[in-house]
Amino acid sequence: PGDDDDSAGSDEDADGDGVSVGEDCDDNDPGMGICPQPSCAYLSFDGVDDFVEVADHSSLALAGQDYTMEFWALLDGAHGSVVVSKRSNGFFTGYLLGTGPDAVAGCCDGSSASRFGAAPGAHDFWNPVDITWGWHHIALTHDAAAQVSRFWVGGQVVAETSSYSSLVANDSSLWLARERINTAQYAQFSLAGVRLSSEVLYSDTFIPEYPLLVRPETVASWPMDEGWGGLLYDGSANDNHGVLTGGTWAACP
């Protein structure tokens, strides 16, 4: 990733590790060839009935503290929608993070590139960039003391707000690719890793890492590189493993 010679770039995974080096991988154009990025080892959701359920655990609440939520998503024409949902009935507690053209389907304008909802309190909906093509690293950071939240796409800030209140814990399970309240709402995209952290990981422009590594502040990390089976393993010490319903695996050769 530190090589600035674009002449060496091609969209190939030369060593089979799931990292694709693109021609523009050093140009820092959000979502357009940032290096590294996934090329294999991911999980696809069909938008019909595929999802993952993770049992409730105190580490997933992220209540009253700093946090970072991030993931790698492939849209390529898919309608997107919910990535992570841990909300209670009635939207009294918890959170939701979504992406894609249908990130806010059934709610508002239905065209946000990224959406985050925290309860209790207000929603914020943004249309910062076109992320309807290719792999994208998307992150949300929240500084609890400063009450500042930022959306990051491709390692760059695309939106900032001070309107979020602190999260409130609940005992709901966490779902990936399915809405916890509107349970008939599923997501269509591929994911190559979701990571939740108890710190603000990003404060300046950065090159997104792939894979998303487990760090001391990681409370849950699902790399989605199993390639088979009905269980998503959490790499953190909290053992927040997920049970998969449906889904299609893509594995590295």
Q: How far is it, in rounded angstroms, from Cα 142 to Cα 104?
A: 20
Structure tokens that stand for 70 in this block: 């991030």
3-state helix, strand, coil in the chain (%, to 5): 0, 40, 60
Q: What is the pTM of this model?
A: 0.84
Preceding peptide of 36 cis, ω within 30°: yes
Is 177 in contact with 191 (CB distance < 8 Å)? yes
Is 87 in contact with 95 (CB distance < 8 Å)? yes
Determine the pLDDT at residue 99.
86
Is 191 in contact with 224 (CB distance < 8 Å)? yes
Q: How far is it, in rounded angstroms, from Cα 155 to Cα 91?
A: 30
**CA dist list (Å): 184 to 53, 81, 115, 232:** 14, 12, 18, 22
Q: What is the CA radius of gyration of the chain?
A: 17
Dmax of the chain from CA atoms?
A: 54
Q: Give 10-residue mean pLDDT values along the chain (253 residues).
A: 31 38 37 66 95 98 94 84 86 83 55 63 53 82 90 87 81 94 89 98 95 97 96 98 97 83
Determine the pLDDT at residue 104.
56
Is 60 in contact with 172 (CB distance < 8 Å)? no
As to burial, measured by CB atoms within 10 angstroms (0-12 exposed, 13-18 middle, 19+ buried), residue 247 is: buried
Q: What SS3 string covers 107-160? A: CCCCCCCEEEEEECCCEEEECCCCCCCCEEEEEEEEECCCCEEEEEECCEEEEE
Determine the pLDDT at residue 103.
65
